[in-house]
Amino acid sequence: MAVTRTLAAGPDRFFQQIDHIIKSHSLRGSESLCKLLQYLAKQSLDHPDAPLKEYQIATEVYGRHADFDPQSDSTIRVQAGRLRLKLAEYYATEGANDPIVVRIPKGSYHLVFESKVGEPQPQLVPMKVPAAPANQPQAVPIHWRIAVVTLLAGLIVAVVMLVSLLWTRKQADAAPSTARPVTGPLAEFWRPFTTGSEEPWVIFSNAAFIGRPETGMRYYSSGRDSKTAVYDHYTGVGEVLAVHSLDEAFGSLGHKLRVKRGSLFTLDDANDANLIFVGSPSENLSLLDIPGTREFVFQRVASGVRKGDLAIVSRHPKPGEATDYLASPSGAPLTEDYAVVGLVSGVSPGRFVMILAGTTTFGTQGAVEFVCRPDSVQKIMQEMPGSKSEVTPFEALVRVKIARGVPLETELISVRPR
C-alpha cells in the first residue's frame, strides 16, 4: 500500500473515504464492484505487505472454485479495470473535492491513498471592453440582417411542425384503443416481459476499446491500458440489428422497450424492471453483476490451437452432445456461431432476465432473431415441462449459420429447463 502526503490521515479516514465512494452515484447499483473495493481496501490497510493475487480475490470475493485459473479466466482483471474506470469517473465528478484520492495502480491490486494538497485558485480579472464612441451608430451589415430573418423564419416553421406533431400524438393517445389482445406463441413466450406496468430494459453490449477508428482500435486490456483513454461507445453490427428486431417484435405485441448500453446499467434497473441482455458477458460486462446461466456458460479456451477464443461450455452435456461450442476460427470466414438463449429469475421477486448472447456479434443477432419469430419460440416452449403455452425459466443453445456477415439460419440444439 502506498500513502502519500498523509500526515494526519489514518486508516479510519481511509475506510470512511471507501464508504463514501461506495455510496456515490458512480458505484450505485454495482454490487460486485463495491464488494471488490471493500475487499481491496481491507487487505491493503490491514495487510499492506502481503501481496494480493487474482486467485485470492476470485475465491474470497467472487466465490470461484479452487480450480480457478487466472491465466484462462480474466474475470478479476476485467472487474479491476471496471473499478479503475469507476474511480476515475467518481473523482472527475462528485468526488472532485474529496481530500483523499483512492487509486488502483497498474500491475497491482493494492489500493493507493493520496491526500490532496490545497492549491491557490487563480484570480479572475474582469476584462475591460472599450466603449463605443459617442454619437456613432453601429451599422449592422446587410448579410447579418438577412441571416437573422432567415433564422427566425426557420424557427417559426419548426415550432409550427412541433406543435402539429404533439397535437397529432395527443389525439392518438386520447383515442380509445380498439385493438384486440395479441395471442400466439410469440405473445406467450414474451408474456413475462409484457404483463407488468414497467417497460423492459434492453441492455446491449458496448465493449471498452482503446484507440479510434481512424488510427486503429483494439479491446481494452486492464493489464497494460490502465492509464489509457477508453472508448465504450462502440457496438457490434449484430447488437444494433438485434435491438431493431426486438423493437419490431414488441411493437407487434403492442408494447414498447427502453434501451440502455451496458456500461450505464445499474442494479436499480434490475430491481425496478425486467431486463433483456443483448451480447455475451465478454462484452456486456453488466451480466457479471446479476444471476446468469448455469448450464451453458461462456469461457475462454485454456489451451490448444483455439486458446483464448470464447466458447460456450455445456456443464452437463446429454448423450451425443459436445462439451464446448465455438464459432468458426478467426483465420477462416465466419460461417458458424453458437449462442445462448436463457430466461432466468431476476434480482427482485417477480422480475425476469432474458439473456441473448452469441460468441460473436452475428451469433447474438441470430439468437435475437430466433426469439422474435413465432415458429422458433414455439420449438423452445415445446421443450418445457407441463403446459406448452406458458414459458418458464430455461436455458437453450442454438447454432447460427452465417454467410457474409448475415445470419441465415438458426437451429435449436438443446434446451435445459431450470
Per-residue pLDDT at 132:
44
Same domain, yes or no: 100 and 222: no
pLDDT in tens, 146-180: 555 555 555 565 555 555 555 555 554 544 444 45
Query: What digits encode the pLDDT tens for the residues 324-371?
Result: 999 999 888 999 999 999 999 887 888 899 999 999 999 999 999 999
- Answer for the pair 194, 391: CB distance below 8 angstroms, yes or no: no
Residues 6+ apart with CB under 8 A from 222: 77, 78, 80, 81, 84
Domain boundary, last residue among 82, 115, 148: 115
Distance CA 344, CA 284 (A): 17
Do 316 and 406 lie in a common domain?
Answer: yes
Q: Model confidence at 398, in pLDDT bands (50, 70, 90)?
A: very high
Sign of CA dihedral 254, 258, 261, 263: negative
Task: Report yes or no: 92 and 24 within 8 Å, Cβ to Cβ.
Answer: no
304 found inside a domain? yes
Within-domain flag for 31: yes
Residues 278 and 385 in one domain: yes
pTM of the model: 0.59
Q: Which of 115, 147, 164 is the last residue of a domain?
A: 115
- How confident is the model at residue 385, as a pLDDT? 73
In a domain, 90, yes or no: yes
* Range in 70-74, 128-132, 240-244, 302-306 with the lowest mean pLDDT: 128-132
Residue 388 lies in a domain: yes
Q: What phi and psi values does residue 56 have, to the nearest 5 degrees?
A: -65, -45
Last residue of a domain, one of 93, 115, 137: 115
Q: Which residue has the higher pLDDT, 31 or 378?
A: 378
Inside any domain, residue 293: yes
d(CA 337, CA 363): 5
Contact between 364 and 339 (Cβ < 8 Å): yes
Residues 386 and 267 placed together within one structural domain of the fold: yes
Co-location of 250 and 370 in the same domain = yes
Say if residues 357 and 284 touch (Cβ distance below 8 Å).
yes
Angstrom distance (rounded) from CA 342 to CA 398: 11
On whether residue 401 sits in a domain, the answer given is yes
Look at residue 155 and tell me if it is in a domain: no
User: How does DSSP classify residue 244?
Assistant: H
Residues 375 and 243 in one domain: yes
- For the segment 226-237, the average pLDDT, to the nearest whole number, is 73
> Strand locations in 185-267, DSSP E?
201-204, 209-212, 216-219, 258-261
- Smallest Cα–Cα separation from 278: which of 150, 367, 171, 192? 367
The answer on 223 and 88 residing in a single domain is no
- How many domains does the chain contain in total? 2
**Phi-psi bin for 254: left (phi > 0), alpha (psi -120 to 50), beta?**
left
Do both 62 and 210 map to the same domain? Answer: no
Which amino acid, 198? E
The residues, any chain, with a CB within 8 Å of residue 235's CB and separated by 6 or more, are 204, 205, 206, 261
Q: Residue 338 phi/psi, 5° resolution?
A: -125, 150
Domain span at 387: 185-417
Higher pLDDT, 77 or 374: 374
Whether residue 107 is found in the same domain as residue 201: no
**Structural domain includes residue 404:** yes
Coil, helix or strand at residue 79: helix
Question: Could you tell me if 395 and 412 are in contact, meaning their C-beta atoms sit under 8 angstroms apart?
Answer: no
Q: What percent of the chain has a predicted confidence (pLDDT) above 70?
A: 77
* Structural contact between residues 413 and 376, judged by C-beta atoms closer than 8 angstroms: no
What value does the mean pLDDT of the chain take?
Answer: 79
Q: Are residues 104 and 197 in the same domain?
A: no
Alpha-carbon distance of 22 to 30, in angstroms, equals 9
Q: Are residues 58 and 198 in the same domain?
A: no
Strands (DSSP E) found in 65-131: 100-103, 112-115
404 and 296 in one domain? yes
* 271-321 tens-digit pLDDT: 778 999 998 877 776 676 666 889 999 989 999 999 989 999 999 999 999
